Amino acid sequence: MSDTIKRKLLVVEDDPGLQRQYKWNFEDYDIEIAGTREEALDIVRRDKPAVVTLDLGLPPDEDGISEGLACLEQILAEAPHTKVIIASGHGARESALQSISLGAYDFYQKPVDPDELGLIVERAYRLSDLEEENRRLAAGQQSSRLNNVITASESMNKVCNIVERVAPTNVTVMLLGASGTGKELLARALHDLSDRKEKPFVAINCAAIPENLLESELFGYEKGAFTGAVKQTLGKIEVAHGGTLFLDEIGDLPFPLQVKLLRFLQERVIERIGGRKEIPVDVRVVCATHQDLESHIAENLFREDLFYRLSEIVINIPPLVEREGDAALLAHNFLNKFNKELKRNVKSFTKEAISVISGYNWPGNVRELENRIKRAVIMCEGNKIEASDLELAVDEMEEELLNLKQIREMADMKAIRKALANANGNVSHAAKLLGVSRPTFYGLIKQYNINL
């Protein structure tokens, strides 16, 4: 075991002979010895060892257990998660019960059997690691009050804070982020945290509905308005009355409809197709896009006045690769979710699988991660998901690089992949993000053998 990964182990023992023995037996640990309660507490405060072995017969009560029990209580008051293993030769059964009831992790009787104690200590570290991981996961889940939004990263927590602050207001919100970053999830969170939450949340994907149908989907129509209009039908805007209307892929809204939507946002009334009267509708509008609307405006594809109406508040959602620690956190959550949904019992991930998940750049963001974990839960043969179950083409990026040319190439590749992810695979947009021309971008893709 190298020095850098030695774990801190505190041994509280006043007998110099036994202190030496512990040092010999536990040389795999970064061992610290305390001969008194005060020394022990100093070390607990300073170094926070995860595991402590504690002799109950400490001075001034070497022949009793009072000082040892007091020390136990204070260690746990100071650092409640510490695993304290009691070592005692005094009235074994009674002191065992007493110390366990005070919160000790385990008990063994002197004289010390190094192998037995070694196993107890090792097991204590394993439990401590597991508990630590659970606390981290739970903290991540609770870190935002947003329904179903899981994150522990600073960048995403900032987004969640903005969502929380904006939710109770009526302002129009534009969510910007690459595909799969959670735009719809956040739109729902905006709705759920608003006082419109009991009213409908209506989502419409402007890119998924053919242009000729989109108008009637949005505004509805009267009976006989066109061939096939056999009965009066309400549009999504009207259906959302009192609630929230989520316009996904707003960048794909055809130009003529942009005019109609703008009019609705200004006057808050709609007219059904074929209808004569203006109907007041109260909706809060949230929209989303992965496109660069400002360049659409420059190319006259998107109305500037509509853009400003829609973007009273703009929220930029970071891609998964920029959310420190979130990929592994989400992976654990998806594992639990799919275990339940698919009635599987996959326990966890191997270390390699977690490092692949953490190191991958996730161009399809959370959606891609979710799909990979679902697949892995189905395909996994043992009780742990292995790196190969994820079927990710991870290159050897993490290897230590000393060659400047290689480092530059890696940086290029990383930037290209990120730009493609941010631009949702759109080459012109990705080239623009990188500040290079399209032909140069294609040249780079070819040079680095990057799949589009």
Ligand X SMILES: Nc1ncnc2c1ncn2[C@@H]1O[C@H](COP(=O)(O)OP(=O)(O)OP(=O)(O)O)[C@@H](O)[C@H]1O
Choices 35-43, 71-79, 291-299, 364-372 (CB under 6 A): range interacting with ligand X: 364-372
Choices 103-111, 175-183, 268-276, 388-396 (CB under 6 A): range interacting with ligand X: 175-183
Residue 272 near residue 310 (C-beta atoms within 8 A): no
Residue 146, Cα to own-chain centre: how many angstroms?
12
Residue 314, Cα to own-chain centre: how many angstroms?
21
Nearest to 102 by CA among 65, 125, 76: 76
Cα dist from 23 to 10, 11, 108, 123, 362, whole Å: 11, 9, 18, 19, 46
Among 110, 197, 199, 367, binds ligand X (CB under 6 A): 367
Residue 85 near residue 53 (C-beta atoms within 8 A): yes
Nearer to ligand X, 56 or 335 (CB): 335
Asked if residue 233 binds ligand X (CB under 6 A), the reply is no
**Minimal distance in Å, beta carbon 47 to ligand X?**
35
409 Cβ contact list (under 8 Å, min separation 6): 448
Among 34, 152, 218, 366, binds ligand X (CB under 6 A): 366
Nearer to ligand X, 263 or 375 (CB): 375
**Minimal distance in Å, beta carbon 151 to ligand X?**
5
**Phi and psi angles of residue 389, each rounded to the nearest 5 degrees, phi first:** -65, -20
User: Taking CB under 6 A as the criterion, which residues in 317-336 touch ligand X?
Assistant: 330
Residue 179 near residue 365 (C-beta atoms within 8 A): yes
Choices 218-226, 232-240, 366-374, 388-396 (CB under 6 A): range interacting with ligand X: 366-374
**Phi and psi angles of residue 23, each rounded to the nearest 5 degrees, phi first:** -60, -40
User: Taking CB under 6 A as the criterion, which residues in 145-164 touch ligand X?
Assistant: 148-151
Nearest to 60 by CA among 37, 39, 79: 37
Choices 1-9, 173-181, 237-245, 273-281 (CB under 6 A): range interacting with ligand X: 173-181
Q: What mask, x for binding ligand X by CB under 6 A, covers residues 281 to 300?
A: ---------x----------
User: Taking CB under 6 A as the criterion, which residues in 28-57 touch ligand X?
Assistant: none
Asked if residue 183 binds ligand X (CB under 6 A), the reply is yes
Site residues for ligand X per CB under 6 A:
148-151, 177, 179-185, 248, 290, 330, 366-367, 370
